[in-house]
Chain A
């Protein structure tokens, strides 16, 4: 009995203690285990101690052959000085992991479809998409094909060794912030993870399905009209490769009318066919000026890739110096052993996406849609490649099982219950890392172009300039050649005759060197006016028109002017459309059909300088008017009031040339036949009403551009508290300094201007900071400068001792074992 009494007295406090220990050790809901999380020595609080790098640090790394000195400048850029390339790359892996370890793991898992193991079931859909596409398996195939002692393999092995050296040395209290939040430990870095990066970028830049859009449009308005609405050849041409002809050119031929059935069926009856993933909006600018048109007589180059802006940034700035072998500065993707965009002592380069069509869809016939094992090809059944994918939670629990299929062309994806196999250069390309690394060493434009000859995907407009004054651009890579030429259609998967027949030769790829005009520019516009099909989804050339306009009008370009151009907020798109609105109002006034509201709106547009400055009130009205104009014009392509296909503004411009086109007539007003001016006036009136309803009166500052639209830079885990949201921005859709609707999450991810004089002088900035630690002031220290349009001087010391002491913030020495 006495024992029972003792137990009874002991039980309550032991139960409470057990409960507290359980809460301390196990995750509760979305929270990490509280004990290790709150631990002031090794928990989340310890991230304060790694917010600033120690002024002096030493570490030993296995595999190094000689010491490597890394000096961080006052912008926290590591300058890596090594005597051997392998050592430099190993050190690069170490320093990038030191700042960006969590980001590296997150992007790796986002590519191989194992995010659920880090963040839980919320990421299941993303993981399933990635595993079905097979980006990681494609990287593994490339890895298996690399020669063990070849450059590509040596680079990624050395980089992985550097990353893992950092992971192995991580002590208690050195884990990055997000690992504490998630209650996880870092996974080891594998060499193949470096090969993921280019594929992930390929996914971002080329995984589009305009074929489906064209198909849907054709079903409603007919093939001929669909071809005109979504043209393979852009109606406004300002190509990246000047051909000696006069540009820009404008195709004013009238659009063919919609097929009769588009006007006879009601919107709700339409069946448009499968949809594809929404388009992403990333884009980029780059341009170069020959010595003949620069104030200093030296070549100039500018680049600003427009990608999703994140914290930490997609880029990491670095300088790598290997005596007499490599001396390169620029931005790398964390995980890559090479500088992607940057310069060395002789050459500078930058990239924009070419919008080339490198992905095709094949409608397949499977033996059993519910559990397929074979696909039909040339009348015979062929075995499908099948693989079982398991998705697991952080604790190892099985979340889902998926069967992934592939034909000889590539993975099978499903749209509206129909199977399509895809062939995509991004899944088959190889050697990108080595090509870019060799380009890092180029001594001239010719060297650089030679190095990049083996680069395959994603196809980029590679712009390059050198100290000798040569400038060149090449949209180089793997362009598939299809039967019939064009690739903007869904191919018949049951015939092997639908398969690709080859590659476009280098001599037929868009290329220009030292053009007579003295400058080159690319902004994702159609690269070439030529006979070959390169892509069927051209981007509207507003940015290209603007930069060409600026460069044509300035024969003494300076780096400061290049910086101004990068920040330019004038919109050629507004130059094209605002006069159309105003002329319609003038004609409407004459006809007595314009009310005071439209008059008021026209006055605002008329007084506008067409710049997207933060405090202007007209850009908001213009954007709303453009949205209304598209909605009212393309009503034939809407289902239940929602646009299913949205032709580009280029097509809308072309339609403006034809005031009586049937496209202007609104389907829902059966007793009236609208023409162009009626739609323009209605758009303007609706825009004004919407603006007033949303933002109040224009006189109240509510229509200020920076009140209505802003930039949002999200943390990699989309945590608002770690993000920079609602950033005022002087730019909009179609300006050189862009802001893309609706999330405002894409923009100039890196701005760089390089002057290739006797000594290379460069300036640059990206939004965010070098550190991935949200507690560090280096996490977002560059954001104010980026917002203000500043460019920072990029220090490029020739040797370690050349970095001034007062501009050195930290030193890290890596030594070989036993060294």
Chain B
């Protein structure tokens, strides 16, 4: 349950950052998450899932205002791919960006932790 709540909150953070600052902020939120998340190897995967979910929420909100599937269909037609591929790439892109960002954050945190443990 805590994991689901954590992913949901993180997804909201990704969505809010995208809304406020644009697509690149997904990387920033990912790095931040990597820095503050607890120990373990799942920071990257959690961030990837949450970033994807965050953008999915934004797409759903957009769909409430207009024909999102028609956009996917038109873009797919232009690029020569089926529309689900367009949706898939749209969700995959923040996942990679957020996930890798979180990994970077985690490596920084781990390096810092080791340094501090070394001093102690």
A residues lining the B interface (CB < 8 Å) = 2, 6, 9-10, 13-14, 16-17, 20-21, 24-25, 34-36, 38-52, 177, 181, 719-722, 774-775, 777
Q: Is the CB of B67 within 8 A of A24?
A: no
Docked complex Cα distance between A397 and B3 (Å): 50
A46 to B62, CA, bound (A): 7
Q: Collect the chain A residues with CB atoms within 8 Å of residue B70's CB.
A: 48, 51, 775
Alpha-carbon separation in the docked complex, A177 to B118 (Å): 55
Cβ contacts B82-110/A at 8 Å (1 or 0 each): 00000001100100110011011001101
- Assess A25 versus B24: contact at CB under 8 Å? Given A13-B100, A50-B66, A181-B78: yes
Minimum Cβ distance to chain A for residue B78 (Å):
5
Q: Do residues A49 and B100 form an inter-chain contact, with CB atoms below 8 A? A: no
Are A722 and B90 in contact (CB-based, < 8 A)? no
Complex Cα distance, B76 from A477, in Å, reads: 48
Nearest Cβ distance between residue B98 and chain A, in whole angstroms?
10
Please state if B19 and A9 are interface contacts (CB–CB under 8 Å): no
Count residues of chain B with CB under 8 A from any CB of chain A: 38
Tell me, rounded to whole Å, the shortest Cβ–Cβ distance linking A9 to chain B: 5
Are B78 and A47 neighbours in the complex by a CB distance under 8 Å?
no
Q: How far is the CB of B21 from chain A (nearest CB, A)?
A: 10
Please determine whether A45 and B59 come into contact, CB atoms closer than 8 angstroms. yes
- Interchain CB contact under 8 A, B27 and A38: no
| Contact between B78 and A722, CB atoms less than 8 A apart | yes
Q: Quick one: which of B24-78 are within 8 Å of A by CB?
A: 24, 27, 55, 58-59, 62-63, 65-68, 70-71, 74-78
For A6, the chain B residues whose CB sits under 8 A away are 111
Contact residues in B for A35 (Cβ distance below 8 Å): 22-24, 93
Number of A-B contacts (CB under 8 A): 110
The 3 closest A-B pairs by CB, nearest first: A721-B77, A48-B66, A40-B58
Cα distance, A719 to B77, chains bound together (Å) = 9
Taking A10-B111, A48-B63, A775-B71 as contacts, is the C-beta distance between A39 and B23 under 8 angstroms?
yes
- B65 lies within 8 A of A17 (CB): no
**Are B77 and A720 in touch, CB under 8 angstroms?**
yes
A13 proximity list for chain B (CB < 8 A):
100, 103-104, 107
C-alpha gap A16/B90 in the complex (Å): 18
Say which residue of A34, A40, A774 sits within 8 Å of B62 (CB atoms): A40
Given A13-B103, A13-B107, A24-B23: A40 in contact with B90 (beta carbons within 8 A) = yes
Are A24 and B24 in contact (CB-based, < 8 A)? yes
Interchain CA distance A19-B119 in the complex, whole Å: 34
Residues of A within 8 Å of B59, CB to CB, are: 40, 45
A726 to chain B, nearest CB (A): 15
Report the separation of the CA atoms of residues A487 and B111 in the bound assembly, to the nearest whole angstrom.
84
- Nearest-neighbour CB distance to chain B for A15, whole angstroms, equals 10
B93 partner residues in chain A, CB cutoff 8 A: 20, 24, 34-35, 38
- Chain B residue at smallest Cβ distance from A180: B75
In angstroms, Cα B115 to Cα A455, docked, is 83
**Cα separation A6 to B114 with both chains bound (whole Å):** 10
The chain B residue with its CB closest to the CB of A777 is B67
B74 and A721 contact, CB distance less than 8 A? yes
Q: Which of B71, B76, B107 contacts A10 (CB 8 A)?
A: B107
| Residues of chain A lying within 8 A (CB to CB) of residue B107 | 9-10, 13
What's the least CB distance linking A273 to chain B, in Å? 43
Residues of A within 8 A of B71 (CB): 44-45, 47-48, 775
Q: Is the CB of A17 within 8 A of B75?
A: no
Contacts of A177 in B (CB 8 A): 74
CB of A594 to closest CB in B, whole Å: 50
B residues near A49, Cβ cutoff 8 Å: 62, 65-66
A20 contacts across to B, CB distance below 8 A: 27, 93, 96-97, 100
Known contacts A48-B70, A177-B74; A40/B55 CB under 8 A = yes
Residue of A nearest to B75 (CB): A44
Note all chain B residues with C-beta closer than 8 A to A16. Answer: 100, 103
Closest approach, in angstroms, between the C-beta of A775 and any C-beta of chain B? 5
Given contacts A51-B67, A181-B78, A722-B74, could you give 9 more A-B pairs where the C-beta distance is less than 8 Å? A9-B107, A16-B100, A17-B101, A35-B93, A45-B68, A48-B68, A181-B75, A721-B77, A775-B74
Given A13-B104, A21-B27, A720-B77: A45 in contact with B96 (beta carbons within 8 A): no
Q: A17-B104, A721-B78 are in contact. Are A775 and B66 (CB under 8 A)?
A: yes
- 15 inter-chain pairs at a CB distance below 8 angstroms, sorted by A residue, are A6-B111, A10-B107, A13-B103, A20-B27, A20-B93, A20-B100, A40-B59, A45-B71, A47-B66, A50-B66, A51-B70, A719-B77, A719-B78, A721-B78, A777-B67
